[in-house]
Amino acid sequence: MATEIQIDERAREFVGRDRPMLIGGDWVNAASGKTFEVFNPATGQVLANVAEGDSEDIDRAVKTARAAFEDGPWATMKPAERGRIVHRIGDLILEHGDELAALETLDNGKPFAIARAADVPLAADNFHYMSGWATKMDGRSISPSVPYMPDAQWHAYTLREPIGVVGQIIPWNFPLLMAAWKLGPALTTGCTVVLKPAEQTPLSALRLAELILEAGVPEGVVNVVTGFGETAGAALVAHDDVNKVAFTGSTEVGKEIVKASAGNLKKLTLELGGKSPNVVYADADMETAIPGAANAIFFNHGQCCAAGSRLFVEYDHYDEVLEGVSEHAKNIKVGSGLDPDTEMGPLVSKEQQDRVQGFLDSGAEEGAKTTAGGKAREGDGYFVEPTVLSETGPEMKVECEEIFGPVVTVRPFKDASEVIPSGNETKFGLASGIWTSDIAKAHRTAKALRAGTVWINCYNVFDAALPFGGYKESGWGREMGSEVLNNYTEVKSVCAQI
Ligand code: ADP
């Protein structure tokens, strides 16, 4: 192992103490006094103790967010001023880039270099992008005809207003970035928030909340309640004074949230699982398609809802791509995220490691052939080998269920007429990839794939300006772009007879 990266001093200090949660402007313990342990996935050692919020804390946080929404200056502040504050959050993220990246590596396990080069700047960029929308949340002027009042004159227009108190529940795969995706649009539109980070990875959201206060967001606008999904998360979803819940996580929990949120019919957006097809046509540039297909699945250890986990390759180049992706998998350096040579860190938790191992066992039982990897690594930390499976079929668990780990299935196909139905043969519809040098074929295939994102000759390209979200069981609504703003605003029609 190369010399470990020196952990940013502030990050070391941040994990060294018990972490309270943020309600209003106060850093508080849970009402129950309970805490829970957060682990370093590279070692399995306890990293920090964090306040274990539950329904009582959620209720306090929601009341605080409600007061901040109704009485505070946030929703009524001049949009330019609110935009400047949201922009400043992005600046502070960049200023604290080393520290935030170190927290991500310690808490989530991802390589420091990747957290520093991707998670941190993308999180900052999301606030910067969203800040510009604060001044552009315009309504429209409308000319009604009102057929039963032929002689009347009208002045009518729409207003876009913040939706109110928002509950946001985020996962552990990109802890900082998911917080940014959620908070950016909520803040720029003037909403107030109760954010519940994933219990595996709450640290960067807590540090981000400090930076949010430092940026000038008034107290009570952002509240962060740490705790478990079944307690704190469920209480937030069921709370009758929450106007909207934005959730990113598994499809299974997403379905529970749909039911649990019904009490006050709060608005809901869901960014859920995926089982994304990645299609390599024979005319693709294999020098980019092969590493591209490997990156599509192995980026972030396969813990991406958009992961290109079902690889389809046109027959002529099937052997070449299977071998190329397998070689790539075998050469990935797996290790601690603090080792500068590491390309893939551990999975986030023991539970996740066991889950992925369960899929690998089921693949082997159902007759899949392993051409790279195939098992969890023994010893400390939650490592799983980058794995390539061939001779799989759509009926196998490894092809139809989301694994959320570094495991790809590779299947040959004859032509577009075969691969498009195969690609769409899934209950999910989050993302997809196409590799080809034929522009017309690329766009015809893009149109035919039932997925919220299609990447052509690239994969895992995310940007604050690109809407992201799912068809089918991959979710409701879109994150990012201008589309996300619809989720955080209500449209009011104002109609005056003049
Ligand atoms: P995973 O299975 O990959 O951990 P989950 O969907 O369980 O993903 O978790 C994503 C987020 O949802 C986490 O913040 C978790 O605490 C939260 N969560 C889990 N179960 C519930 C629930 N029943 N109600 C609300 N939030 C939940």
- Does 427 score more than 80 pLDDT? yes
Are 145 and 92 contacting, i.e. CB atoms less than 8 angstroms apart? no
Average pLDDT for 40-58:
97
Q: How far is the CA of 269 from the centre of ligand 1 (A)?
A: 14
Instruction: Say whether pLDDT at 228 is over 80.
Output: yes
The pLDDT, as a whole number, for residue 4 is 84
Strand runs labelled E in 104-191: 141-142, 154-162, 165-169
**Catalytically annotated residues:** 271, 305
Q: Is the CB of 36 under 6 A from ligand 1?
A: no
What span, in angstroms and rounded, lies between the C-alpha atoms of 142 and 492? 12
Place 483 in a pLDDT band, splitting at 50, 70 and 90: very high
Does the beta carbon of 253 lie inside 6 Å of ligand 1?
A: yes
> What is the best residue among 253, 272, 356 to mutate for testing ligand 1's pocket, by most ligand atoms within 8 Å of CB?
253
Structure confidence by residue, pLDDT tens digits, 296-340: 999 999 999 999 999 999 999 999 999 999 999 999 999 999 999
Structure confidence by residue, pLDDT tens digits, 339-385: 999 999 999 999 999 999 999 999 999 999 999 999 999 999 999 99
pLDDT value of residue 72: 85
Mean pLDDT of 36-52: 96
| Residues 145-171, mean pLDDT to the nearest whole number | 98
Segment 260-273 mean pLDDT: 98
> What single string gives the DSSP state of each residue in 284-349?
S-HHHHHHHHHHHHHGGGG--TT---EEEEEGGGHHHHHHHHHHHHHH--BS-TTSTT-SB---S-
**Nearest protein CA to atom 23 of ligand 1, as residue:** 230
pLDDT band for position 1 (cuts 50, 70, 90): low
The residue type found at 203 is: L
State how far the Cα of 459 lies from the Cα of 296, in Å rounded to an integer: 6
Residue 3 confidence (pLDDT) above 90: no
The pLDDT value recorded for residue 230 is 98
Mean pLDDT of the region 194-198: 98
Is the backbone of residue 33 left (phi > 0), alpha (psi -120 to 50) or beta? left
Q: Which atom of ligand 1 is nearest to the CA of 249?
A: 6
**In angstroms, what is the span from residue 225 Cα to ligand 1's centroid?**
14
Distance between CA atoms of 289 and 303, rounded to whole angstroms? 21
Ligand 1 proximity of 374 Cβ (cutoff 6 Å): no
- Quick: pLDDT tens for 76-122: 899 999 999 999 999 999 999 999 999 999 999 999 999 999 999 99
Q: Is 241 exposed, middle or buried (CB count within 10 Å of its CB: 0-12, 13-18, 19+)?
A: middle
Q: Is the CB of 169 under 6 A from ligand 1?
A: yes
Closest to 488 measured CA to CA, from 201, 188, 204, 272: 188
Instruction: Determine if ligand 1 sits within 6 Å of the CB of residue 272.
Output: no
Residues of the chain with pLDDT > 70, as a percent, come to 100
Q: Locate the ligand 1 atom nearest the alpha carbon of residue 253 and give its number.
A: 6
Six token digits for residue 493: 């029609």
